[in-house]
């Protein structure tokens, strides 16, 4: 489907960001503001034997020192396993033991130094498989007393478990012509937004305003209300410009610490993380995973059955990760036509930093393992890997692994276009190869809201609860409103990122902003369009049904040179009924997967509304003497529905690909034997830079998807991150002779694989 390219227009946040005049949380200064610092555990597993803050409270310049004894004793999280400060047991090195608010950084540090903090070390659980052994100590001795949703299955060190079953996988594997098993291990990694997180809190009477670098202001507000036992109308969250998040700034945590400090000190308080703190403390890092996949093949190359097992490193607390096993299980089965499957996944407590939402959580690791396994399957039967995928991947009308029957989708087009744009099948140098991988990602329909008003000068204001983390999704809302009202996107001002102003939105998470808030914005704009047409009809003595809104005015169809401007109509409305619209954009229903039995831990993700599909073909160069891999070009094709903002969507693909290259080759969290991070800094944690960015070609399948986002659209922000590492892996395997089974595939790991027998 060919769609005309969307017009170019200036982002509302563009001038502030490119000129440097925009203010971020760290730039905020309030009269009398104090500085916050945290006392972190610095040990991975221990029982606190003494915690005395008396001396710290008497340090000059110190206004407040808090521990868990000073706040409500409330546990929170998707499994309620965490308190605001340590509950007496330290479970990872970045756990907050105490917090200080002081006149300056020096005084705050002096207070931390004065705290008497003693502990008895406990056995460290540093490995997910070891955590499952019967004699391994429990990270949470009282796990059974923690509240959790009924559909969260837990046991001992398993924080959350799920299984997906369809058909009879045992019989299918027993009757298969070939059975291939693979095991892959992915390290944990970080989101690493360039802006470290910051929080500022100020009380006015019994109300607190919190400025926070969060992707999810409404979730942050609700979290503060929960742990500090406050009603919703007494907590306001405002987000200044946000310097990236990638999921790492989702959820809630430090807003409540700073609000509590501000209340205790009766002064505004600001916290800004150092880069080391940004690595060590937040409960949002990409989970380490072990992925085991067994597939049976029929003689014709079709997949007879598949069994997958995934272990996720949950870390010390569950954060938002209770549903991640279900996501991992789906990705470990993949977008294939398989009638007999069984997948199970466990999120396992360890003494590592808690895992949480990082761009496409669980998908890049599981896709890397599954798509590497897919190339192994094709090789085992002497079949071209692309042809193998074309034979087995889902298409329009096909039944997927959970029994869901897909409406019109573009995965097969993605495979054709990505491969055609690449050098796949061409004669290449001996040190070059092209790898191909496919991926998928769900869409998350949800509630959202928007208000629109058109003032008497004919200019509009969009008021939304949606959050802008740099993706440009919120910045596209004026384009949608303008298209409905015959105005220009630049005619609209945006008011957003304030929980006391905008209606509810889940936040910049799950690639859902344009999907959900876009629908709400269109609905609100259409209400105003009705009002404008009625006003124009009265002035032009015509029927409202004959009125056209275009070019900043209203006119009778067929007479574009006459008519009345939007500004004139708005001025008329200002004398009576103002031009106001509101929308909530009712979310579409999630389709059923009727042939699936999710034995336990069903998180409602067996059927995917508006699933996104992708194929990446990556050409690399390998230096066999050193194991160094260089990505030379990436060719991508995506089915994300109709693309509304071509420039913005292309930017998401480029950013997701570069992030995927980092996951593939360099980014990993290194833990020592004591379960403490050994590379908590940008010198040791190797991000990709612009110098590493290869040429990236982009194709959008543009399959119109009804009842999803505006104009038949689907999300785009997370999908480009899914298949990149897998495609790189398959290119490496062609040159090495076997897959590298550890992620990232660092130069050392590639070189070591080259030295193995059979490589």
Least confident of 298-307, 346-355, 595-604, 622-631: 595-604
User: Is 8 domain-assigned?
Assistant: no
pLDDT at 434: 98
Cβ neighbour number for residue 232 with a 10 Å cutoff: 12
Q: What pLDDT digit, counting tens, does each position of 261-281 carry?
A: 999 999 999 999 999 999 999
Q: What are phi and psi of 526, to 5 degrees?
A: -65, -30
The dihedral built from the CA positions of residue 184, 189, 191 and 197, taken in this order, carries a sign that is positive
Give the Å distances, CA to CA, from 10 to 14, 210, 646, 682, 710: 7, 29, 14, 33, 20
Specify if 259 maps to a domain. yes
Residue 117's φ and ψ, nearest 5 degrees, are -130, 110
Other Cβ atoms less than 10 A from the Cβ of 623: the count is 13
**Both 220 and 203 in a single domain?**
yes
451 vs 404: CA distance, rounded Å: 36
Give, as one character, the DSSP assignment of residue 405. B
* In a shared domain, residues 394 and 465: no
Q: For residue 47, how many other CB atoms are within 10 A of its CB?
A: 11
Host domain of residue 49: 18-122+197-272
- For residue 376, what are the CA distances in angstroms to 191, 430, 739? 30, 21, 8
> Quick one: pLDDT band at residue 5, thresholds 50, 70, 90?
low
Starting at the edge strand found earlier in the chain, the sheet holding 564-565 runs 547-550, 553-556, 564-565
**DSSP assignment letter at 31:** T
252 with 400, same domain? no
Q: What is the pLDDT of residues 68-87, one digit of tens each?
A: 999 999 999 889 999 999 99
Segment 317-332, tens digit of pLDDT: 998 878 899 999 999 9
Q: For residue 176, what pLDDT is reported? A: 98
**pLDDT at residue 509, rounded to an integer:** 87
Which of 241, 272, 303 is the C-terminal boundary of a domain?
272
Question: Distances in Å between the alpha carbon of 691 and those of 151, 688, 694?
Answer: 46, 8, 8
Q: By the 8 A CB rule, do 438 and 415 touch?
A: yes
Tokens of 682: 């940008």
Q: Dump pLDDT digits (tens) for 94-117.
A: 999 999 999 999 999 999 999 999
Across the range 559-570, mean pLDDT stands at: 92
C-beta of residue 603 within 8 angstroms of C-beta of residue 593? no
How is residue 272 written in tokens?
């800004």
Residue 594's pLDDT is what? 73
Same domain, 317 and 258: no
The pLDDT of residue 600 is: 65
d(CA 154, CA 321): 13
**φ and ψ at 416, to 5 degrees?**
-60, -45
- Asked if residue 133 is part of any domain, the answer here is no
> CB count, 10 Å around CB of 70?
16
Average pLDDT, the chain: 94
User: pLDDT at residue 2 above 50?
Assistant: no
User: How much is the pLDDT for 300?
Assistant: 97
The CATH number covering residue 350 comes to 3.30.365.10
Residue 564 contacts by C-beta under 8 Å, 6 or more apart in sequence?
536, 539, 540, 553, 554, 555
Tokens of residue 191, six digits? 């989101």
Note the pLDDT of residue 649.
Answer: 94
Claim to verify: residue 266 and residue 397 sit in the same structural domain? no
3-state SS string for 279-327: HHCCCCEECCEEEEEEEEECCCCCEEEEEEEEEEEEECCCCCHHHHHHH
316 and 435 share one domain: yes
Both 380 and 471 in one domain: the answer is no
Cα torsion 134, 140, 141, 145 to 10°: value is -120
pLDDT at 544: 96
* 371 and 383 both lie in a single domain: yes
Cis peptide bond upstream of 590, omega within 30: no
Q: What percent of the chain has pLDDT over 70?
A: 98
531 part of a folded domain? yes
Rounded mean pLDDT of 706-713? 93
Task: State the Cα–Cα distance between residues 495 and 497, nearest whole angstrom.
Answer: 7
Of the chain, the end-to-end C-alpha distance in Å amounts to: 44
552 shares a domain with 485: yes
Determine, yes or no, domain membership for 168: no
| Residues 6 or more apart whose Cβ sits within 8 Å of residue 625 | none
For residue 4, what pLDDT is reported? Answer: 43
With cut-offs at 50, 70 and 90, classify the pLDDT of residue 7. low
Whether residue 153 is contained in a domain is answered as: no
If pLDDT is split at 50, 70 and 90, which confidence band does 472 have?
Answer: confident
**Percent share of the chain, pLDDT over 90:** 88
Residue with the two structure tokens 């004591």: 674
Q: Is there a contact between 639 and 438 (Cβ–Cβ < 8 Å)? A: no
> What distance in Å separates the CA atoms of residue 703 and residue 410, rounded to the nearest whole number?
6
Query: Do residues 467 and 508 touch, judged by C-beta distance below 8 A?
Result: yes
Sort strands 235-238 and 207-212 into parallel, antiparallel or unpaired.
parallel
For the chain, what is the domain count?
3
Whether residue 3 is predicted with pLDDT greater than 50 in this model: the reply is: no
Same domain, 32 and 60: yes
Residue 445 half-sphere exposure toward CB, CA atoms < 13 A: 21
pLDDT tens digits, residue range 630-677? 999 999 999 999 999 999 999 999 999 999 999 999 999 999 999 999
pLDDT tens digits for range 284-329? 999 999 999 999 999 999 999 999 999 999 999 998 878 899 999 9
Query: What is the per-residue pLDDT for 219?
Result: 95
E-assigned strand segments in 109-238: 116-121, 153-155, 158-166, 178-186, 189-190, 198-204, 207-212, 235-238
Q: How confident is the model at residue 546 (pLDDT cuts 50, 70, 90)?
A: very high
Given pLDDT bands bounded at 50, 70 and 90, which one contains residue 1?
A: very low
Model pTM above 0.85: yes
Supply the pLDDT for residue 293: 98
**Distance between CA atoms of residues 92 and 573, nearest Å:** 60
Return d(Cα 140, Cα 136) in angstroms, integer: 12
Separation of alpha carbons 496 and 12, rounded Å: 11
**pLDDT reported for residue 333:** 98
Same domain, 546 and 486: yes
* Average pLDDT, integer, range 235-245: 95
Instruction: Note whether 373 and 477 are same-domain residues.
Output: no
Q: Look at residue 319 and tell me if it is in a domain.
A: yes
Q: Is residue 686 one of the residues assigned to a domain? A: yes
Say what the pLDDT of residue 455 is: 93
CATH number of the structural domain spanning residue 260: 3.90.1170.50
Structure tokens at 733: 């395997």
3-state SS class at 492: strand
CA–CA separation, 63 vs 61, rounded Å?
6
Residues linked to residue 65 through DSSP beta bridges, in sequence order: 100
* Cα 245 → chain centroid: 9
Tokens at residue 487, please? 């105005």
What per-residue confidence (pLDDT) applies to 577?
Answer: 66
Of 583, 604, 627, the residue at which a domain comes to its end is: 583
In which element (H, E) is residue 527 found?
helix 518-540
Q: Is 396 exposed, middle or buried (0-12, 13-18, 19+ CB in 10 A)?
A: middle
Mean pLDDT, to the nearest integer, of 446-461?
94
Give the span between the Cα atoms of 254 and 252, in whole angstroms: 7
Q: Where are the beta strands (DSSP E) in 496-532?
A: none
Q: What is the DSSP letter of 164?
A: E
Count the neighbouring beta carbons within 10 Å of the beta carbon of residue 7: 12
- Among the candidates 530, 565, 583, a domain finishes at 583
| Statement: residue 508 has pLDDT above 50 | yes
Residue 696 in tokens: 């990236």
Locus of tokens 């992925």? 291
């Amino acid at each position: 489907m060919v769609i005309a390219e969307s017009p170019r227009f200036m982002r509302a946040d563009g001038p502030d960001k490119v000129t440097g005049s925009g203010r971020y949380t760290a730039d905020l200064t309030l009269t009398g503001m104090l500085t916050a610092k945290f006392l972190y555990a610095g040990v991975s597993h221990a029982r606190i034997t003494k915690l005395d803050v008396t001396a710290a409270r008497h340090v000059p310049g110190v206004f407040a020192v808090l521990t868990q004894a000073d706040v409500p004793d409330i546990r929170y999280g998707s499994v309620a396993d965490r308190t605001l400060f340590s509950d007496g047991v330290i479970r990872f090195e970045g756990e907050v033991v105490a917090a200080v608010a002081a006149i300056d950084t020096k005084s705050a540090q002096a207070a931390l130094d004065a705290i008497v903090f003693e502990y008895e070390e406990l056995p460290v659980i540093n490995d997910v498989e070891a955590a499952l052994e019967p004699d391994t100590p429990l990270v949470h001795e009282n796990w059974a007393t923690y509240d959790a949703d009924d559909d969260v299955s837990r046991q001992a060190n398993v924080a959350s478990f799920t299984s997906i079953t369809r058909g009879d996988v045992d019989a299918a594997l027993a009757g298969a012509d070939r059975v291939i098993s693979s095991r892959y291990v992915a390290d944990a990694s970080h989101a690493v937004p360039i802006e470290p997180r910051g929080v500022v809190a100020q009380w006015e009477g019994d109300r607190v305003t919190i400025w926070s670098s969060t992707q999810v202001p409404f979730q942050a507000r609700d979290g503060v209300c929960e742990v500090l036992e406050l009603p919703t109308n007494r907590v306001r969250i405002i987000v200044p410009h946000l310097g990236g998040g990638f999921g790492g700034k989702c959820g809630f945590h430090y807003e409540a610490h700073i609000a509590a400090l501000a209340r205790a000190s009766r002064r505004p308080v600001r916290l800004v993380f150092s880069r080391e703190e940004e690595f060590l403390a937040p409960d949002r890092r990409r989970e380490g995973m072990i992925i085991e996949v067994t597939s049976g093949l029929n003689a014709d190359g079709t997949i007879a059955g598949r069994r997958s097992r995934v272990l996720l490193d949950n870390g010390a607390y569950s954060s938002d990760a209770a549903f991640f096993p279900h996501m991992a299980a789906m990705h470990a089965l993949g977008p294939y036509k398989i009638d007999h499957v069984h997948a199970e996944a466990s999120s396992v407590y360890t003494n590592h930093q808690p895992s949480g939402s990082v761009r496409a959580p669980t998908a890049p690791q599981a896709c890397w393992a599954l798509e590497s396994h897919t190339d192994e399957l094709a090789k085992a039967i002497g079949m071209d890997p692309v042809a193998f995928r074309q034979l087995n991947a889902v298409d329009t009308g096909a039944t997927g692994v959970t029994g869901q029957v897909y409406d019109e989708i573009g995965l097969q087009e993605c495979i054709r276009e990505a491969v055609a744009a690449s050098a796949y099948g061409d004669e290449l140098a001996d040190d070059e190869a092209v790898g191909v991988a496919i991926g998928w990602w769900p869409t998350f329909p949800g509630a959202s809201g928007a208000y629109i008003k058109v003032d008497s000068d004919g200019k509009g204001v969009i008021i939304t609860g949606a959050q802008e983390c740099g993706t440009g999704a919120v910045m596209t809302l004026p384009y949608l409103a303008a298209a409905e009202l015959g105005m220009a996107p630049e005619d609209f001002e945006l008011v957003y990122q304030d929980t006391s102003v905008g209606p509810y939105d889940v936040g910049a998470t799950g690639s859902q902003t344009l999907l959900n808030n876009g629908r709400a914005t269109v609905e609100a704009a259409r209400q105003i369009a009705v009002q404008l047409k009625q006003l124009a009809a009265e002035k032009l003595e015509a029927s409202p049904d004959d009125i056209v809104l275009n070019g900043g005015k209203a006119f009778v169809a067929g007479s574009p040179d006459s008519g009345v401007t939007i500004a004139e109509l708005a001025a008329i409305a200002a004398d009576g009924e103002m031009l106001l619209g509101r929308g909530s954009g009712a979310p579409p229903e999630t389709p059923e997967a009727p042939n699936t039995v999710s034995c336990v831990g069903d998180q409602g993700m067996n059927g995917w509304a508006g699933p996104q599909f992708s194929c990446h073909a990556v050409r690399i160069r390998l230096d066999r003497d050193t194991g160094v891999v260089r990505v030379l070009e990436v060719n991508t094709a995506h089915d994300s529905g109709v693309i509304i903002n071509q420039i913005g969507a292309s930017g998401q693909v480029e950013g997701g690909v570069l992030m995927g290259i980092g996951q593939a080759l360099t980014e990993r969290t290194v833990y020592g034997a004591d379960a403490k991070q050994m590379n908590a800094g940008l010198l040791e944690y190797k991000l990709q830079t612009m110098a590493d960015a290869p040429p990236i070609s982009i194709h959008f399948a543009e399959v119109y998807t009804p009842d999803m986002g505006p104009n038949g659209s689907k999300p785009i922000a997370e999908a480009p991150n899914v298949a990149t590492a897998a495609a790189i892996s398959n290119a490496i395997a062609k040159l090495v002779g076997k897959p590298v089974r550890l992620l990232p595939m660092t130069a050392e790991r590639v070189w070591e694989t080259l030295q193995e027998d059979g490589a």
